[in-house]
Structure 1
Amino acid sequence: MRFQTAARLALAALFGLSALAASAAPTAAPPIADFFENPDFSGALLSPSGKYVAVRVGAKDQRDRLAVITLADSQVKVIGNFSDADIGSFEWVNDERVVFTATDRSVGLGDARYAPGLYAVNRDGGKFRQLVSRSGRPFITYNSTGIRSADLLPWNTYLLGQKNAQDSDYVYVTNPRRPAPGQVDYVDLQRLNTLTGHVTSVERPGDSRRWMLDNTGAPRLTTTVEKGVSTIQYLDPATQKWRKLVDFNTYTGSKGGFWPLAFGPDGTLYVINRSGKDKSTVHTFDFATNTVSEKPLIELEGYDFNGRLIMSNQKLLGVRHLTDSQGTTWLDDGMKAMQAKIDEMLPNTVNLLTLPTRPEAPWVLVTAYSDLFPSRAMLYNSETKVLTLLGATRPKIDATQMATQTLVHYKARDGLTIPAWLTLPRGAGKNLPMVVLVHGGPYIRGKSWGWNAESQFLASRGYAVLEPEFRGSTGFGYKLFRAGWKQWGLKMQDDIADGTRWAIAEGTADAKRVCIAGGDYGGYAALMGLINDPDLYKCGIDWAGVTDINLLYDGHWNFTSDLPEEWKQYGMPALVGDQVKDAEQLKQTSPLLRAAEIKQPLLLAYGGADRRVPLPHGTKFYKAVKEGNPNVEWIEYEEEGHGWYLPKNRIDFWGRVEKFLGKNIGTAP
């Protein structure tokens, strides 16, 4: 087909995508930059008809741009490009029009000056319009909006993040009211005309935090929050009034609570509910009786439901879900056959199919990945059965050098089963040096099966990598999640140590060469691991890690925290620890107060502009620990926030990690 040559060559010429062609496999370990540079290709969306695809692509020393490919004739048109910014998020409004935001990938959080703004343009580049301010200074663009700043919506206006019906010139935007960083009183919802800029507000029934559109693209549900209680409210189309469906504790949940998933094509509301079981499942909701169906429609063995409905042409075709990896259960026979055909063509990857809203063309977007392959976007023609590469996120990565990842399970000392991800270097033997990589959160799911830059980089340097889904982690059932409440530095920490000992007993890890590492909560766990199990871990790495729970509560006079006061008042006392009732426990589980006990080599890295775990967590701990430990390295990235946004800092940090690990646990036998 012509698309296979013409469109790819056009994309390569516009964006410098010479790397779309397969590169020869290098013999040396891949460079750090191959793992931690910004992606070359970072997004593709089919238009509602499937006749066009919008793509965001970057190239070295160039700003990310937005282009539209007309699939019938392979014509490529750049429709979004800033001289002083990159393309941020983007979405189709309808088959003729696209909205997008701006971002600046060249500066860290501390140097960022402007909000994302919002822009709209036709797919042929016409009728360009700026809709939302960027804090009073519109970005310089290659197109002129001709719009006065006074006519723009305020800077704190954002896309809703849900698809509309994509059959008009309207989108929905949100306007959060924030009295302070991290604090949200309520979120207004507005309907915005992308051609005229005219906006109308949707009435709130209270302090709304989240909104959901129905199958027609109209606002139908909102979740209000007051004093730690979430209430789901429904805008009844018969009365045009809001009414309560259910309320529950925002942070710990409660019996009868559920979470809205989506409205089906016929208006049925699908919800996620636990129904007294360990794993959450998908049910339908009856508006007449305000009840959730008893029998689940979708149940994932071993996992809480996490996913979305797949709909096209007003028909429910299947369900996208997350188990160990992303997957799809198709309800439609035609889609089952198409999935089987594509899986036959791509036998070594997970292949996720995305359909247009109202298809009028044979194109389907395919996202393919595995533990060895970073994500690649392809187009499948359902008529010709031809599959064509559209773009790869990290085309320099050679799969033959990547490490395999496996989901394993082990028993904690109290008998609780703990899932964990084990990544082993290619051709690995036994008794390897190992990095125990602890996820942040902590009340999230750490990983799913697939290619991950951090674990793959470490494995490429010869290290086994163990990533425990310790108690408190989500996605593996309520029992595992609930067991982690108020267990920072206690049983949560024991789970990580038990996983380390399991890997040693299995012969995977060398008992004398194990290092514990992590960011955010993972940094906290790295420090507590060195304290609780000094004979188990030979070194530690902490980036952006919490060093004292009371510091999370109380903050510091010179730094602003973005932790919501509501979380501190209603969430942290139940899940982390109460400052009064658990005061002694918080002292015993404070790395800051127990810093003198850490004698192992330690690498610390913090962002000077971090508002989630402000810099004093690092500086106070560094001052305390270095008094009795000469082997402490300190890095501060002044412009960074909670994690490393800039490639230069990611590359610098992981280069330091490589040297630190090589010095302390090495890869030589």
Structure 2
Amino acid sequence: MMSLLFRCCAALSFLLLALVAAAPPSAAAGAATAALPPIEAFFADPQLSGAVLSPNGRFLAAISGAPERRDMLAVIDLQTKATKLIGYERVDVDDFQWVNDERLVFDVIDKRLGPGHTNVAGGLYGVDRDGANLRQLVARREEIIETSLNNSTASRRLPWHTFMLGQRGAQDSDWIYVRSLDFDSRGEVRHVDLLHLNTRTGANRLVPRPNGIVESWMLDNAGQPRLALASEDGKTTVHYRDPASSQWRVIATFDSYAGDDKAFSPLGFGDDGALYVSKYNGKDTASLYIFDFATGKVRPQPVVTADGYDFEGALVSRNGKLLGVRVLTDAYDSVWFDPGMKALQARIDALLPGTVNLLSVASKADTPWVLVHAYSDREPLSYILFDTDSGKLTRIGDTYPDIDPARMGRQDDVKYAARDGRAIPALLTVPPGGGKNLPLVVLVHGGPYVRGSTWGWDSDSQFLASRGYAVLEPSYRGTTGFGETHFRAGWKQWGLAMQDDIADGARWAIAQGIADPKRICIAGASYGGYATLMGLVRDHDLYQCGVNWLGVSDINLMYTGSWRLASDLGKEWKKYGMPLLIGDQVKDAAQLKATSPIEQAARIKRPLLMAYGGADRRVPLYHGTKLRDAVGRTNRQVEWIEYEEEAHGWSLPKNRVDFWRRVEKFLDRHIGKDAAKTAP
């Protein structure tokens, strides 16, 4: 059945506020009413996301959502203020990118189905910005969307395992680069190919691949393939495609997990062909450097250093010129090399003093329009258009328009000392109006070897704060972004020093008068779920309850999996990464047993809420069922939730709302408003 393509020409009042000038975002006036903010406001899908200016800066595209219809691609003419909606009746537009000023590509997803109830891929579609000349470029496993293309055209569609590259191309033709996954007999990705694809004709050609198992590609500042990263036998090799000869050559090889003095992370290319990389270079924190192709080493002087943080960010360019970099410290910020951009940032910050304001410019033109991504700890992300000629701000839309900033909690970066003296960074969110001796939720991030939460509005922590809870989010040892020493201190410390860091944060909150020592709960997903379980094992005197969703219940299960449902953890990670960072099954057998929630299940005496997804391949369902059965033998205070169609996270708004409503009731009973009623 043909799915209907919508093409609307009227301006969207709910999206653009008729494109009239809007006041800068500010906290709503007046006192909050007695009723709590509705849970749906926190956990619905965003109503606007992914806004990007066209290469010439005249148009803006974004994903537009609304409760009564599917998510669609909205394209706005900033001169005429006309808006086009492009979408379908039966699926949602998921992601997109500009091909050139006249054409875009997008993929689709059915947001009303969880991962376990769908067997289709995203496909890929090319379309003109006015909705014309739609072409399906990549097949889906099950063709929900059909177009009027004839069979000969349809036969030229690329296979389902072809995806957008996620990088800006040359944007001067109808061609883009896409990545194509190649699988081995076990269904694992063997390597990733790069294809050059014409978005009007479907013609494509394979980019020659260097030797090795290529996992990722990087385009240069002009949108041409320039780097390929290959991984094999625990080593990462960086291949560089020489612009003069178009031949590949190796510029670096280093240990993928342990790292060494040659290791770096490529960020992107400047206008002069220089490669910018993040590297420790003998320091404890990584900085931004330029890689010298002549010497095969980074230049000794860093370009940008973020004091106390590893450099993490992205390059910002226009017309091929590098304007500056976006960098993450406690929050996101911009370091501008271009004086004009530096002055523009100051001008906009003066108009929007209450938010972090990240500027986005057209990639191939100097236009009067600048897109501002504005947010704060209490305000979700908003998109605001700034006209440099008139000085006028126009609010395009908000990701979560039903959130009232005046009713959100304040969030602060804090640090506390672990028992061995290590400084542990953390985020502390308190309810609106603050308070002392509050019920506390220690919210543990997943990973664990990733950067945790950063300053800014977050649905989980703000929902809990709106219900009267203080929320502490520790960046325990092993968390990345705070230096190499902090990261390495977490190696092989699952359930040990990493666990101590989390407990020491709760005790710090007690000592500060923030937390009531008799009303503390630990919660988290994935590794955070594992830490929740081990917290109840080791610190049952500290935590009154635990909320574990999608949590690892045994490290050995991560290695061995199950005959029925295998984990999606890659063989390289299992062979080289896990033994080094988590623990070796043979050498560390005693430690893995002592730090296994399943093996220690009889020690979990506190109330426990558990939730797992039936289609999860990162932490498969058997992690939860085995633990549920083990804990249930000695503990009757276990609540179980299973979302059959979900994977490693709650993709459906109805499940997010259901889960957090259950969490709200669970916390109310054990540390919240109803705890005193049920206390012995």
TM-score by length of 1: 0.96
User: Which amino acid in the other structure matches residue 149 of structure 1?
Assistant: A
| Alignment correspondent of 1:425 | 431
Change in CA separation of 1:548 and 1:365 when aligned onto 2, cut-off 3 Å:
same
3-state SS of paired residue (1:516): strand
What CA distance in whole angstroms lies between the structure 2 residues aligned with 1:490 and 1:17?
56
| Alignment correspondent of 1:224 | 230
Q: CA deviation at 1:9?
A: 7.9
| Alignment correspondent of 1:171 | 176
- The one of 198, 205, 214 aligned to 2:220: 214
| Alignment correspondent of 2:192 | 187
| Alignment correspondent of 2:383 | 377
Change in CA separation of 1:29 and 1:9 when aligned onto 2, cut-off 3 Å:
farther
Q: CA deviation at 1:113?
A: 1.8
3-state SS of paired residue (2:439): strand
| Alignment correspondent of 1:654 | 660
User: Which amino acid in the other structure matches residue 316 of structure 1?
Assistant: L
| Alignment correspondent of 1:620 | 626
| Alignment correspondent of 1:58 | 65
Q: Deviations over 1:566-623 (max 9, x none)?
A: 1100100000000000000000000001101111011011101110000010000000
1:315 correspondence with 2:321: yes
User: Which amino acid in the other structure matches residue 210 of structure 1?
Assistant: S
User: Which amino acid in the other structure matches residue 162 of structure 1?
Assistant: Q
Superposed counterparts of 1:441-590, under 5 Å = 441-590=447-596
Contact 2:178 2:197 in 1 (8 A): yes
Contact 1:53 1:69 in 2 (8 A): yes
Contact 1:128 1:145 in 2 (8 A): no
Gaps of 5+ in 2: 1-7
What CA distance in whole angstroms lies between the structure 2 residues aligned with 1:407 and 1:14?
33
Contact 1:530 1:537 in 2 (8 A): yes
1:68 correspondence with 2:68: no
| Alignment correspondent of 1:630 | 636
Q: CA deviation at 1:146?
A: 4.2
User: Which amino acid in the other structure matches residue 42 of structure 2?
Assistant: F
- Pick which of 179-188 and 208-217 moved more: 179-188
What CA distance in whole angstroms lies between the structure 1 residues aligned with 2:608 and 2:429?
23
What CA distance in whole angstroms lies between the structure 1 residues aligned with 2:178 and 2:71?
23
| Alignment correspondent of 2:3 | none
Superposed counterparts of 1:140-179, under 5 Å = 140=146, 144-146=148-150, 148-179=153-184
| Alignment correspondent of 2:4 | none
User: Which amino acid in the other structure matches residue 11 of structure 2?
Assistant: A
Q: CA deviation at 1:14?
A: 8.1
Q: CA deviation at 1:388?
A: 0.3
3-state SS of paired residue (1:473): coil
Change in CA separation of 1:382 and 1:564 when aligned onto 2, cut-off 3 Å:
same
3-state SS of paired residue (2:189): coil
What CA distance in whole angstroms lies between the structure 1 residues aligned with 2:249 and 2:11?
53
Aligned length: 659
Gaps of 5+ in 1: 1-6
3-state SS of paired residue (1:572): helix
What CA distance in whole angstroms lies between the structure 1 residues aligned with 2:144 and 2:378?
42
Q: Deviations over 1:438-490 (max 9, x none)?
A: 00000001111000000000000000000000000000111110000000000
User: Which amino acid in the other structure matches residue 11 of structure 1?
Assistant: L
What CA distance in whole angstroms lies between the structure 2 residues aligned with 1:289 and 1:361?
39
- The one of 240, 254, 275 aligned to 1:269: 275
Q: CA deviation at 1:184?
A: 1.9
Q: CA deviation at 1:136?
A: 4.8
TM-score by length of 2: 0.94
Q: CA deviation at 1:138?
A: 4.8
Q: Deviations over 1:184-232 (max 9, x none)?
A: 2110001001111000101111211110111221111101111110000
What CA distance in whole angstroms lies between the structure 2 residues aligned with 1:102 and 1:161?
15
| Alignment correspondent of 1:601 | 607
Change in CA separation of 1:430 and 1:313 when aligned onto 2, cut-off 3 Å:
same
User: Which amino acid in the other structure matches residue 10 of structure 1?
Assistant: A
3-state SS of paired residue (1:492): helix
Contact 2:565 2:620 in 1 (8 A): yes
Change in CA separation of 1:16 and 1:542 when aligned onto 2, cut-off 3 Å:
farther
| Alignment correspondent of 1:3 | none
Contact 2:17 2:396 in 1 (8 A): no
User: Which amino acid in the other structure matches residue 12 of structure 2?
Assistant: L
Contact 2:176 2:198 in 1 (8 A): yes
Q: CA deviation at 1:182?
A: 7.3
Q: Deviations over 1:338-364 (max 9, x none)?
A: 111111111100001000012253111
4+ residue stretches of structure 1 with deviation over 3 A? 13-18, 20-26, 143-149
Sequence identity (%) = 56
What CA distance in whole angstroms lies between the structure 1 residues aligned with 2:638 and 2:142?
44
What CA distance in whole angstroms lies between the structure 1 residues aligned with 2:9 and 2:553?
49
Q: CA deviation at 1:149?
A: 3.4
1:350 correspondence with 2:356: yes
What CA distance in whole angstroms lies between the structure 1 residues aligned with 2:584 and 2:261?
23
What CA distance in whole angstroms lies between the structure 2 residues aligned with 1:180 and 1:298?
45
Change in CA separation of 1:628 and 1:614 when aligned onto 2, cut-off 3 Å:
same
Q: Deviations over 1:516-568 (max 9, x none)?
A: 00000000000000111110001001000000000000001111211111110
Q: Deviations over 1:413-450 (max 9, x none)?
A: 11111101100011122110000000000000111100
